[in-house]
Each structure stands twice: as structure tokens, then as C-alpha cells.
Amino acid sequence: MTASEPAHVLIDFDGVLADFDQGFLRVWRTAYPDRPWLPPAARRHFYLREDYPPAWRDAVQAVIDAPGFYRQLPVMAGAQAALAALAARGYRLTVCTSPGATLAERRAWLAEHFGPVLAQGMLACADKTQVDGDWLIDDNPAPSGARAPRWRHIVFDQPYNRHVPGLRLNWQNWAQHWPESG
């Protein structure tokens, strides 16, 4: 980052901007009203399907893969205001998400809730270490890939990543914990 170049913040999609857990529960409890469900606060694994019994994992994945799933996700509380504040501070913002069949849904969701500019600039990549940025806000407790990342990982606080030490935030406390330098 140079004096003329704004700092670049990479932001994960699900579990950070989109409330994946609440959206999943909404669909799961409708589709499987007789099956137990796990409250988000009780989650212990990054991949949701690992928090459910093995016999139910295909059903969990089917809910997530169903057309329209990503379009119905609620926005994480405080995310819109936080991104607006970061943009107002001059940060360059890029949503960085994993590729897949739901990419068009995620892009449409971003346009609806965060505007077309952020949606058009969304990157889909399987290896976030390949993306240059100053910070990565991600709920993944240990993003890794082919190279050492240039960005600094900021753990977006979730029950399943609280065992990871280091810089963490959520959209309610981000301003108090934001690193002003890389």
C-alpha cells in the first residue's frame, strides 16, 4: 500500500456479510420440522454439515445447494453500516468468496443489499491467498492456500472459530478493533 493507494479490505460473503446460519435454519426447520436443529451459538465446526449427524449431512448439503438458498439469506446485523463506514474512510472493498454454482445468486444478493458496485467487483476464488489485499475479514478460522498471503487475517467472530487467537471483530465492535495500519 502506498500513500496514493487506498488500503484494500477483502471481505468473505457467507458468515460475514450474509447470515448463513439464520438462513439455513429458516429453510431447515421448514423442510425438516421433525428433525432437531442446532442453534448457531452451539456450532463448533467451520463447515455446517459437520455439526450435524453423518446421516443428515446429505440433507444439510441439499438445503445449502437448493436454488434460491443464497437469495433468502438475511444480512448480518450491522454489516451494511460497517461497510459504508469503511468505504467512507477511503478503504477499497472487495467481496471475496468461494466459486460455485450459486455465484450468480450471491452476486444478485450483494447487489440488492450492498449495491451494484460491490456486487460487480466480487471475486470468486478457491484460494484467497492468491488475492492481494491488506486485510481479509473471514469467518474461516484458518484460511490457507498455495502461498503466504499478503493480507492480514481478521477473524470474523463466530462460535466455531473462538479457539483461534488473534485479531477478531464483528459488525458491532469493528470500529473499536479496526487496525489502522497493515
- Contact between 153 and 145 under an 8 Å Cβ cutoff? The reply is no
Q: Which residues pair with 16 in a beta bridge?
A: none
Single pTM value for the model = 0.93
- Contact between 11 and 96 under an 8 Å Cβ cutoff? The reply is yes
Those residues with Cβ within 8 angstroms of residue 126's Cβ, 6 or more apart along the chain or in another chain = 98, 99
Catalytically active residues, by annotation: 12, 14
Q: Which tens digit of pLDDT belongs to each residue from 60-118?
A: 999 999 999 999 999 999 999 999 999 999 999 999 998 888 999 999 999 999 999 99
More confident residue, 177 or 10: 10
Alpha-carbon Rg for the chain in angstroms:
16
- Kindly state the cell numbers that stand for 112: 440488492
Q: Can you list the domains of the chain with their CATH numbers?
A: 8-18+75-177 (3.40.50.1000), 20-72 (1.10.40.40)
